[in-house]
Structure 1
Amino acid sequence: MKSDKKNIRHLSLPALQEYFGSIDEKAFRAKQVYEWLWLRHATSFEAMTNLSKDLRHKLEENFVLPAVKVDATQHSNDGTIKSRFRLHDNHLVEGVLIPTDTRQTACVSSQVGCSLSCKFCATGYMDRKRNLDFDEIYDEVALINQQAMEHNGKKLTNIVFMGMGEPLLNYKNVLQSIERITAPDGLGMSPKRVTVSTAGVAKMIRQLGDDKVRFNLALSLHAANDKKRSEIMPINDSNNLKELMAALNYFYKETGNEISFEYILFRDFNDSKQDADELIKIYRQVPADLVNIIEYNPIDNARFQKPDAETAEDFMDYLAKNRVNARLRRSRGKDIDAACGQLANKG
């Protein structure tokens, strides 16, 4: 049964202060509660131990605190940890902690499922059930941060919105979650350490520019001509490469933030010299910092395969000769279906 109580985390600090004033409580109580909610990541009113029992009871009566819970975790041989998170309505999403020598990266989801049906992505074969609220995205990051501390003794250094869902189709909640993640009274991370990855929603990329966001943007390219891209990413039919390049240039003009391309190599589909030439042409149209060339990770339902090591190496060498700043990103967490494109709540 749906509760008509308001989610307390959807109240701003001024709104909380107003509430405490209305029940004749001192204004500083609002600050205490706000700190419990965001800085200390309390998952229940009971945990707010510097409030009286009466006040905690009153909060319980008037508000809900629907915290995200870790439902299951899997540990990869390479140190990657995949978590399945259970939301208050029992929907499930996945998030991943990717540790390296220099970074602790959280890969987070923004939707339950996805509506874009990209042919190479496990999430693309699921229906989109709903968007995540901003506080649920924040919970994912906070919980993965706890795992980083517990297993590696280090806090998160980076956050990538590359999990389940298309972040720009959950625009408001994604931006609000980043605002909380980067706030001094939140997780206090630098926006420069946050990257939002999009399959390419030109209108919303322009909106990011208008909103003068401070985080980085990655475009999931995966094919550098419209015919091939539309074949594997139906969104390209309504957001073609010309539109996307114009939107990325607008984003850069308005924000000056880092732009990168993601390009998964598929055997005999986008791994030839001609494909590399088309990629170089796209790269030169935008002030992109980097092209991440990604190993393909096989999934059920998809017909694709990864190219052999020599083909991948030749592709990288050709890009390097043409002064493209490209990096081959080795997939991590493959043994637990936690690598790029593999998230699908299989458990």
Structure 2
Amino acid sequence: MSTHVKRNIRHLTLAELEEYFAEKGEKKFRAKQVYDWIWLKQAPSLEAMTNLSKELRHYLSQDFSFPALAVDATQYSEDGTIKTRFRTHDGHFVEGVLIPTEHRVTACVSSQIGCSLSCKFCATGYIDRKRNLTYDEIYDEVALINQQSERVYGKKLTNIVFMGMGEPLLNYKNVLKSIERITSPEGMGMSPRRITVSTAGVAKMIRQLGDDKVKFKLALSLHAANDNKRHQIMPINDTNDIKSLVDALNYFYKQTKNEITFEYILFNEFNDSQKDADELIKVYRQVPADLVNIIEYNPIDFARFSKPTEEKVEAFMNYLEKNRVNAHLRRSRGKDIDAACGQLANKE
């Protein structure tokens, strides 16, 4: 007996939905109704599509699956940050974070379940990559965090950063397709300029972003400005050294003119000296980067790194500013609930 594998209804285009309804002898406008329920109204299930008849919803549920993300657990930080653990239809967990500040509300979303890059300072790097998230699952993350933002803060999301679990450029198609849906007027209608994709540095895919003329911003997780040190903490540097990344970023900028940011976590006695700052300045000057985000390190259980003293951080920042580097110190949010940068690991 063959079991009929149901197609995920969210992977159908509007034209395919129209074809389906025509075959069923239904009116064409039904397809648009369903499509709007999926993307515009962000329905969590077929049952939620209340302006369709029961009979029609029954048909749909026989023919299609609707594997939506569900909220599994929510944690609230003292500073207003909210971390959500989502459960996928096949039982995996993935985390997303809502970060409110005075002028913006940002969703930090994941693109993979686990990660294959094993960066030494990041909790997600210590868990294997189970699979990529599909574009509709990434869309769900954003939609659910947006609903949370409206409920808790009375505001819609203003920004999205792909800085959660996983390497976005190793899930290239799904990440781009999710952004296409998020920015579409038939979806959330968000401006791509308010979206930042952060990468540990996959040179080939950074160039691909340029070729695809994407409209969103790009952040490179540099964290060390010479190959020897970067190689120690980020194994991806073996195949994507700093020179290849500088070349790729310049190509990306030439093709898109989009904003580029460097991310640089300060580790005590590792990358926080004046010599390290000089190397960072050198890399910064080779790329039309808009900003260097200096990030506080958030200790995790199994990493050997620690955080520099406030004095050291201040000296590093002052040195960059003296050398006309547009640098910003990013204070960590949500540390008390393991929601800060590098801490997402699906702790039970």
State the alpha-carbon separation in 1 of the partners of residues 216 and 56 from structure 2: 38
For 1:49 and 1:189, locate their aligned partners in 2 and report how far apart those are by CA, in whole Å: 26
Which residue in 2 is equivalent to 1:25? 26
Displacement of 1:21 after TM fit? 1.0
Q: Which position in structure 1 is the counterpart of 2:310?
A: 309
Corresponding residue of 1:6: 7
Tell me whether 1:153 sits opposite 2:192 in the alignment. Answer: no
CA 3–125 in structure 1, closer or farther in 2 if over 3 Å, else same: farther
Query: Which whole-Å CA distance do the structure 2 matches of 1:339 and 1:3 have between them?
Result: 43
Counterpart position of 2:243: 242
SS at structure 1 position matched to 2:302 = coil
The secondary structure found in structure 2 opposite 1:71 is strand
User: What TM-score do you get using the length of structure 2 for normalisation?
Assistant: 0.99
Report the AA paired with residue 296 of structure 2: E
Aligned equivalents of 1:315 and 1:303: distance in 2? 21
Deviation at 1:3, TM superposition (A): 6.6
Structure 1 counterpart SS, 2:98: strand
Q: Which string of whole-angstrom CA distances, capped at 9 and with x for unpartnered residues, describes residues 40-71 of structure 1? A: 11111111111111111100100011110000
Spell out the pairing of 1:1-347 with structure 2 (5 A cutoff).
Answer: 4-347=5-348
SS of residue matched to 2:328: strand
d(CA) in 2 for partners of 1:334 and 1:39?
Answer: 34
Aligned length in residues: 346
1:116-136 deviation per Cα after TM superposition (whole angstroms, max 9, x unaligned)? 000000000000000000000
Of residues 317-326 and 36-45 in structure 1, the stretch that sits farther from structure 2 once superposed is 36-45
Alignment-mate amino acid for residue 147 of structure 1: Q
Structure 2 residue ranges without an equivalent (≥5):
none
Q: Give the secondary structure class of the aligned counterpart of 1:254.
A: helix
Instruction: Render the CA deviation track for 1:178-214: whole Å, top value 9, x for unaligned.
Output: 0000000101100000000000000000000000000
Alignment deviations for residues 268-314 of structure 1 (CA, whole Å, 9 cap, x no partner): 00000000000000000000000000000000110000100000000
More moved, 233-242 vs 36-45: 36-45
In 2, the alpha carbon distance for the partners of 1:10 and 1:157 equals 26
CA distance in 2, matches of 1:12, 1:212: 23
**Aligned-partner SS, 1:117:** coil
Mapped partners of 1:22, 1:323: distance in 2? 64
Q: Deviations over 1:72-129 (max 9, x none)?
A: 0000000000000000000000000000010100000000000000000000000000
Distance 1:296 1:3 in 2: 49
User: 5+ residue gaps in structure 1?
Assistant: none
Q: Which runs of 4+ in 1 moved over 4 A?
A: none
Distance in 2, Cα, partners of 1:29 & 1:287: 48
Task: Return the letter of the residue paired with 2:46.
Answer: F
1:24, CA displacement in angstroms?
1.0
TM-score, with length taken from structure 1: 0.99
Query: Could you report, residue by residue, the CA deviation over 1:138-169 in whole angstroms, capped at 9, with x for unpaired residues?
Result: 00000000010000000000000000000000
Two-structure CA RMSD over aligned residues (Å):
0.8
Q: What SS does the corresponding residue of 1:31 show, helix, strand or coil?
A: helix
